Amino acid sequence: MTSAADATSTAKSALSAELAAMPLALMLVESRSTLMLRQRAAQLLQDQLGLASAECLYIDGSGRWLGRDGDEGQFDCSDFNHPYAHVIRSGKALTLSVADARTRLDDATFQQQVAALGAGSYLHIRPLRAADKGREWLGVMVLVGTQSRLRSLTEDPGMVAFDALLCRVWARLAREQGERQRSRLLQDSLAKLNDGARRQALADQLADDLLGQSSAMQALRRHVVRAAETNLAVLLQGETGTGKDRVARAIHQLSGRSKGPFMAINCAAIPEALLESELFGHAKGAFSGADQAREGLISQADGGTLFLDEIGDMPLALQAKLLRVLESGRYRPLGASEERCANLRLVAATHQPLREQIREQRFRADLYYRLGQFPLELPPLCERRDDIATLAQSFIRDFCEREGRDEMGITPAALRLLYRRDYPGNVRELKNVIDYACAMTPQGADIDAYLLPGEQSDQASSASEVTEDAGFALPDDIDDLRQALRDVESAIIRQRLRRFGGNRAQVAESLGLPKRTLAHKCQLLELDTK
């Protein structure tokens, strides 16, 4: 027969047995995050002990703030106007009545928390700290219930065991979450590095088509790679001769549409009456001379890229039709009764100031903004003079391959003139200059300064105008006689070199100089490298 003492002992240990039950422990251990753990622990305590409420507050990464799940406010761990700071500082549990909490503590967030609690209720606050060597603070547990129920928890072995299990699982999950977060950050960093390296590799590949190592060209190649990764319409703007057609082809070749067609048209080169047919196509009999149906460029570019050069010259009526293609992907050929679908990527280019044309009502504002989803500004040659030597060498190689000429170089004196030259026609003008100089250079020789066409040759000889019989017309503003004499001598030699096609022997004979003396003067005057 069970004695009264045994019954009392059994009753006291009932709570310990209930809290230490294996299913309850498993619920904590199987939690997949600290948030889930806190929610499960609070719910278990509330249900098993018959409490009014239970909550676990956590210390954030800074160690200064106690947070509540659900963004319901936070508490400063160093502010003793609420009891949580006392518990963390002392490391001991604290029990107080709600009535005392309301009258003695003036923390606004804490008062808001206890406002909904009954005046006869009690708060039991327990510190939660990891049991490992670091002993880091995890947070506090807040239990609300009757005084008798909470008093029995103070030294209850089951509650102590529950705290220990909770803290152990919490610390483990926190470490795992920290490791997962660090792993994600590392993976994200590696992904960004790999992505950056991939983009840089693609930009480097473009250096064979978009020549130049100036900062402006490096930036342009990076932007081309980014543009190619999207399906956005690209608007290329820049001065004439900056290579907009090359950029358009580069965008196509790097894009997911690279296996599709690349169709190009210069809107300024096609008469207005024919441009619509070129773009949209026409049905048989659509107009006089339309003996058979014809596919337009929009149809031919399906699955690929359509490049519209000089879009600023497109008539307003066609601009409206093009806008509809961009917005709906649908169009109707001239004279056709049914609409067709087009899946294409549009790249447009212009050297004209489209914003001014919009103000003058010569270009549609809605089309401008639709075309400019990914705007790219191409730098003029004056902003990338460091690339002139690279471009010149490339144009020389192209000329020699095209014309079947032996390899040739270019003298430093010629390069210096190229660097000083103005290029309103940009890269296209430089190419024309080089092609002319290559054609004028004798077989086996290098391009020399006197062979460059245009205003630089004229400027070089204008320092002293030479005539065959009448002498010189000297400028009036000479302030350096030695330099003026060098300019006159240089102008004379340049003129004779042009006259005799670069034949040094004939030039020396015409000037009454030994060939060695002429060669020395050419070197001093930086007319060549020989």
* Percentage of residues in the chain having pLDDT higher than 70: 86
184-240 tens-digit pLDDT: 766 666 666 566 777 788 888 888 889 989 999 999 999 999 999 999 999 999 999
Q: Is 156 in contact with 15 (CB distance < 8 Å)?
A: yes
Q: What is the DSSP string of 251-289?
A: HHHHSTTTTS-EEEEETTTS-HHHHHHHHH-B-TTSSTT
Tokens of 482: 């030695």
**Element holding 245 (H helix, E strand):** helix 244-254
Domains by residue range for the chain, with CATH: 12-178 (3.30.450.40), 209-284+297-379 (3.40.50.300), 380-462 (1.10.8.60), 464-530 (1.10.10.60)
Query: How far apart (Å, rounded) are the C-alpha atoms in residues 32 and 466?
Result: 93
Neighbours of 221 (CB within 10 A): 21
Query: How far apart (Å, rounded) are the C-alpha atoms in residues 371 and 266?
Result: 16
Q: Is 213 in contact with 380 (CB distance < 8 Å)?
A: no
HSE of 456 in the Cβ direction (CA atoms, 13 Å)? 20
Q: How far is CA 106 from CA 7, 101, 102, 124, in A?
A: 45, 9, 8, 18
Angle of the 34-49 helix axis to the 157-205 helix axis, nearest 10? 160
Q: Is 138 in contact with 171 (CB distance < 8 Å)?
A: yes
403-456 tens-digit pLDDT: 999 999 998 888 988 988 889 999 999 999 999 999 998 888 889 888 888 644
Q: Is 471's pLDDT higher than 50?
A: no
137-162 tens-digit pLDDT: 888 999 998 888 888 877 778 888 88
Q: Is 119 in contact with 125 (CB distance < 8 Å)?
A: no
Length of the chain in terms of residues written: 530
Stretch 372-377: mean pLDDT: 93
- Helix or strand or coil: residue 414? helix
281-293 tens-digit pLDDT: 878 766 776 678 7
Q: How far is CA 15 from CA 24, 93, 142, 157, in A?
A: 13, 18, 18, 9
> What does the DSSP 8-state code read for residue 294?
B
Q: Is 300 in contact with 261 (CB distance < 8 Å)?
A: yes
- Helix or strand or coil: residue 417? helix
pLDDT score at 193: 58
- Helix or strand or coil: residue 498? helix
Q: Is 90 in contact with 126 (CB distance < 8 Å)?
A: no
pLDDT score at 2: 46
Q: Is 473's pLDDT higher than 60?
A: no
Query: How far apart (Å, rounded) are the C-alpha atoms in residues 136 and 127?
Result: 11
Q: Which residues of 303-321 are buried (b: 16+ CB within 10 A; e: fewer)?
A: ebbbbbbbbbbbeeebbeb
pLDDT score at 192: 60
Q: How far is CA 199 from CA 192, 252, 367, in A?
A: 10, 15, 30
Identity of the residue numbered 272:
E
Stretch 348-355: mean pLDDT: 92
Residue 528 CB contacts under 8 Å (≥ 6 apart), including other chains? 411, 413, 446, 448, 449, 522
**pTM of the complete model:** 0.56
Identity of the residue numbered 353:
P
Tokens of 92: 């001991």
Query: How far apart (Å, rounded) are the C-alpha atoms in residues 7 and 4?
Result: 5
Q: Please indicate whether residue 483 or residue 64 has the higher confidence score (pLDDT).
A: 64
